Amino acid sequence: MSHASDGSRFTIREATTTSDQVAACALQFAVYVGDGYVEAERAATNLKPEVLGSGGTQLIACRPDGSVVGAVLYLHQGSALQQVAAPGEREIRMLGVAREARGEGVGEALVRSCIERARMDNASALVLWTRLNMEAAQRLYARLGFTRITDRDMQDDRGFTRMVYAYIY
């Protein structure tokens, strides 16, 4: 899906090559560690192409020069990386946009792309979890039509609540 024709400065596509996958993980590491959501040691263990690539497809937002400014992991059906999906649902994780690219619609375009992908996959819902202090993300999900599903919230072992959202088809 391209967003270049409407004046946007990025395109969304699958991370197909090893170098795409490395760039996606590097971006997610920079966002999650840089914003203070994940400790560097934990991120170094989990945010690796071989870990994320085994569980899903990375969608990336690229500048015309090829640099990656956003990424999201669209999990395969039954992926070992699923944390909130029920049978028949699809889940996304690790949405992140580089600080310098925020407020351009990159996050929205990545999530819209996942909504369309899950629709094509005949999912009953696209689900995800977020955290109380991820306020920009919560506005994004609400704007795109996700519903907050409080009765599916769960506790994370780091001491916060995983707040569940679902886009229902």
CA distance 146 to 96: 18
Place of tokens 């990424």: 71
70 alpha-carbon distance from chain centroid = 9
Burial status of residue 6 (CB atoms within 10 A of its CB: 0-12, 13-18, 19 or more) = exposed
Shortest distance in whole angstroms from residue 13 CB to ligand COA: 16
Cβ nearer to ligand COA, comparing 22 with 134: 134
Residue 47 or 140 with smaller CB distance to ligand COA: 140
**Cβ atoms 108, 143 nearer than 8 A:** yes
**Least gap, CB of 99 to ligand COA (angstroms):** 8
Closest residue to ligand COA, judged by C-beta, is 107
Tell me the C-alpha distance between 46 and 33, whole Å: 12
Q: Which residues of this chain interact with ligand COA, rule CB under 6 A?
A: 31, 35, 95-97, 102-108, 128, 130, 134, 136-137, 139-140
Between 118 and 128, whose beta carbon lies closer to ligand COA? 128
Determine the residue type at 96: G
CB of residue 111 to ligand COA, shortest distance in Å: 8
Give least dist CB 98 to ligand COA, A. 8
18 vs 160 by CB, closer to ligand COA: 160
Of 140, 109, 43, whose CA–CA distance to 165 is shortest? 140
Q: How far is the CB of 64 from ligand COA (least distance, A)?
A: 16
Between 18 and 139, name the residue whose CB sits nearer to ligand COA: 139
Name which of 91, 55, 74, 90 is nearest 13 in CA terms: 74
